[in-house]
Amino acid sequence: MKEALVNIRTRDGDMETFTVTPNGGSPRPPVILYMDAPGIREELYGFARRIASEGYFVLLPDMYYRKGRLRFDLKTSDDAVQKSMFDAMYSLNNALVMSDTEAMLSWLDGQSDARPGPVGCIGYCMSGQYVVSAAGTFPERIAAAASLYGVSIVTDQPDTPHKLANRIKGEVYFGFAAEDRWVPENVIPDIKAEFDTHKVDYALEQWPGTGHGFCFPERDAYVEEAAEAVWEKVFALYQRRLQN
């Protein structure tokens, strides 16, 4: 695998981004991996490598770059660390992340290892909202978006991501946990109503016996069977929308 740490210039500074793609061969379709709330860590590098191994040029941006180089150890985190993590998470919003996404898409245009054309994305937890926003904000570029137990997809704010359904041209996959205190009961019905109204190509599933975080092997909530099934769904989506 060909790996690198690059700085992508955004409106607010340099965003450190991990990139990985298979060695040799022709340029690969790009996929942006948006991190979850705990931020950049080896577990996410592993996710990026797994996606790349399927034949993609993967970007994993450090979305907390505006606050410096933050790293959180969830295994030893105390209340102060948890507070710092949530402060970082709540420092982001759709406008900032879409600005960063625009910078990544522009950067991709100049990369010989990245194939021009459709782009995929995937986001977990706090970033489940951002892949929906990306699909609606950049409908000519984002062809495949996967949102896993995403939070804040439906809000009472003007920038609520689900209201971008009328702009989405790509395909979206939602994978929710069966029990998730971060996802209010109205969220799934509201997503379905909006996406059905605008005839978006999407699939939405709740995985039995799972809770928030079930895709991450290093979490207590990890459910291997469901997590592996989600990978299959995501790779099938990318095959349809990015490879064909």
The whole-number pLDDT of residue 68 equals 85
pLDDT tens string 128-148: 999 999 999 999 999 999 999
The whole-number pLDDT of residue 77 equals 64
pLDDT beyond 80 at 69? yes
pLDDT tens string 28-54: 999 999 999 998 999 999 999 999 999
* Section 56-60 average pLDDT: 99
pLDDT beyond 90 at 74? no
Q: Which residue has the higher pLDDT, 68 or 41?
A: 41
pLDDT beyond 80 at 13? yes
The whole-number pLDDT of residue 54 equals 98
Contacts of 150 (CB under 8 A, 6+ apart): 123, 124, 125, 126, 127, 128, 129, 131, 132, 174, 176, 183
Superfamily of domain 2-243: Alpha/Beta hydrolase fold, catalytic domain (3.40.50.1820)
pLDDT tier at 71, thresholds 50, 70, 90: confident
Coil, strand, or helix at residue 21?
strand
Distance between CA atoms of residues 22 and 33, nearest Å: 16
* Section 91-116 average pLDDT: 97
> 190-227 burial by CB neighbour count: b if 16+ within 10 A, else e?
bbeebbeeeebebeeeebeebbbbbbbeebebebeebb
pLDDT tens string 167-197: 999 999 999 999 999 999 999 999 999 999 9
| Model confidence, pTM | 0.95
Among residues 48, 135, 60, the alpha carbon closest in space to that of 94 is found at: 135
Average pLDDT, the chain: 95
pLDDT tier at 230, thresholds 50, 70, 90: very high
Distance between CA atoms of residues 34 and 91, nearest Å: 15
